[in-house]
Amino acid sequence: MFFLASQGYRCIAHDRRGHGRSSQPWNGNDLDTYADDLAALVRALDLKDAVHVGHSTGGGEVARYIGRHGTGRVAKAVLIGAIPPLMLKTEANPVGTPIEVFDQLRASVAADRSQFWKDLSLPFYGYNRPGAKVSEGVRESFWLQGMMAGLPASYFCIKAFSETDLTKDLGRFDVPTLVLHGDDDQIVPIGASAMLSSKLIRNAALKVYKGAPHGMCTTLKDQVNAELLAFLR
């Protein structure tokens, strides 16, 4: 955002319900409500011709927003390491991740969410790979952001991002869309996400970052920034 604002673009971010500096209600920790919260913000600021950029669950939020509210105020969309169309392994989605993995995430959040965020930072940024240059500052920042999320949001959003089928939402995309994903993403495996979503979205452009982790907006920020700027222009 700092880079794009420095290029003259107006950049707006919201703290998702239950996360960051947002309030922390028990209810509404699901993608329908996330999308409706975003729509309320878009209307309040009267945004037009906006480019919606969503990373990870945020990409699911962009998809559900378009699915529920259309593209009347949307010029373009970008999905980065994003969860669509569906993360969960089902009979119809055999390349997905088994429910037991998400059950373990929930158990870890409930047991000791502080340690959970510390541990998750390693695969998130690919810091567990041989030869990786680890930034302890990035890991601490990730932990801090995780701890700013309320416990209910941290717990309930696991169901939201893993079990929400966004296939039909992707079919409603009718704006230029850029899909960026690392092929070494250990959090949202590329085979069940970008490789499928880029085919479901009409005329989507897919760019695969070789060896990139889930947190590629941090580890490869200069490359991602250049990609975003070119797409905006």
- Catalytic residue list contains 198: no
- Catalytic residue list contains 119: no
Active-site residue, from 14, 55, 181, 214: 214
Active-site residue, from 56, 121, 162, 193: 56
Strands (E), 33-141: 50-55, 74-80
Closest CA to 165 of 40, 67, 81: 67
DSSP bridge pairs for 97:
88
Active-site residue, from 30, 162, 185, 197: 185
DSSP per position, 131-194: T----HHHHHHHHHHHHHS-HHHHHHHHHHHHH---HHHHTT--S-EEEEEETT-SSS-GGGTH
- Catalytic residue list contains 185: yes
- Residues labelled as active-site residues: 56, 185, 214
